[in-house]
């Protein structure tokens, strides 16, 4: 198995890489674990002390739950693995507060956290709007959770595609229109011949427009042991942290299964 980084954006929240010499079962498992099993922080409970804004308590609470929070997996435990057995302690929960009387929008950046490492990812996320005489005050409890329980605990979007293998036949030069047929500009004119643009070939979306239109000029197949992965984080964790945490979670599942098998004997 081999991993090769293809691209990473300036913000560091989106990467793509090639996973080779792997089975599709493992590729899909990795995708699912990153989306569903990697734990991240999110607000679960909200206690309102004041709220006479235009939005009901339930609507504000729902908006708060969907605000991505920076997550520190080294300092917190998911509730079922905590020593408090899910009752709620400083090892598995975190208190956040907000109190505002200012007219105008109330932003996520105004939320105060007892742990400076756990804070809203996007400070300008709007919670509600206040006019003269209105105010809002609440205490929220954040905890680790998994995306399979609720989307608010999902760390990002992950998807993959088969690595395309494209070849041109000796009839390609008579099909120059194929250059404009491809939406991803995989083909180009080079030395008066139709050729494959190697810089764009990984961008192939497997639409098969080239093969369907010019089957005599193009041969394409998907490599079933090589995949291009795309990870886009919502901000709670970096894409690299998502991948590593997913593998750690899978290892924990295997160890748990191993112990159950031993007990069954």
Residue 165 lies in a domain: yes
Here the CATH number for the domain that contains residue 125 is: 2.170.120.12
Half-sphere exposure of residue 28: CA atoms within 13 angstroms, side-chain side: 4
- Residue carrying the six token digits 């206040």: 130
Instruction: Name the DSSP letter for residue 131.
Output: -
Residue 265 has pLDDT above 80, yes or no: no
Same-domain check for residues 23 and 105: no
Residue 216 lies in a domain: yes
Among the candidates 92, 125, 149, a domain finishes at 149
**DSSP collapsed to 3 states, 160-197:** EEEEEEEEECCCHHHCCCHHHHCCCCCEEEECCEEEEC
Residue 261 lies in a domain: no
Q: Which residues contact 18 (CB under 8 A, 6 or more apart)?
A: 2, 3, 4, 6, 163, 202, 226, 227, 228, 229
Residue 237 lies in a domain: no
- Note the pTM of the prediction, 2 decimals: 0.85
pLDDT of residue 206: 79
118 falls in which pLDDT band (50, 70, 90)?
very high
Among the candidates 98, 132, 149, a domain finishes at 149
pLDDT digits (tens, 9 = 90+) for 162-198: 888 888 887 777 777 778 878 888 888 887 788 888 7
E strand spans, the chain: 2-8, 14-20, 40-51, 93-100, 104-107, 112-113, 126-130, 136-145, 156-168, 187-190, 193-196, 218-233
Residue 255 lies in a domain: no
pLDDT digits (tens, 9 = 90+) for 6-26: 899 988 899 999 999 999 999
Residue 241 lies in a domain: no
């Amino acid at each position: 198995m081999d991993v090769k980084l293809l691209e990473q954006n300036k913000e560091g929240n989106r990467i793509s890489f090639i996973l080779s010499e792997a089975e599709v079962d493992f590729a899909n498992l990795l995708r699912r674990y990153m989306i569903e099993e990697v734990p991240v922080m999110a607000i679960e409970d909200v206690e309102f002390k004041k709220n006479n804004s235009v939005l009901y308590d339930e609507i504000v609470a729902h908006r708060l739950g969907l605000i991505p929070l920076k997550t520190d997996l080294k300092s917190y435990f998911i509730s079922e693995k905590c020593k408090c057995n899910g009752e709620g302690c400083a090892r598995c929960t975190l208190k956040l507060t907000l109190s505002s009387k200012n007219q105008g929008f109330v932003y996520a950046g105004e939320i105060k956290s007892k742990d400076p490492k756990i804070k809203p990812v996007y400070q300008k996320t709007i919670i509600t709007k206040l006019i003269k005489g209105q105010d809002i005050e609440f205490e929220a409890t954040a905890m680790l959770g998994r995306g399979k329980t609720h989307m608010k605990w999902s760390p990002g979007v992950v998807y993959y595609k088969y690595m395309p293998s494209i070849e041109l036949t000796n009839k390609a030069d008579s099909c120059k229109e194929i250059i404009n047929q491809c939406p991803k500009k995989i083909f180009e004119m080079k030395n008066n011949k139709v050729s494959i643009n190697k810089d764009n070939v990984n961008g192939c979306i497997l639409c098969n427009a080239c093969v369907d239109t010019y089957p005599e000029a193009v041969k394409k197949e998907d490599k079933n042991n090589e995949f291009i992965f795309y990870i886009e984080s919502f901000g709670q964790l970096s894409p690299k942290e998502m991948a590593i945490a997913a593998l750690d979670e899978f290892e924990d599942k295997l160890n748990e299964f191993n112990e159950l098998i031993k007990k069954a004997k």
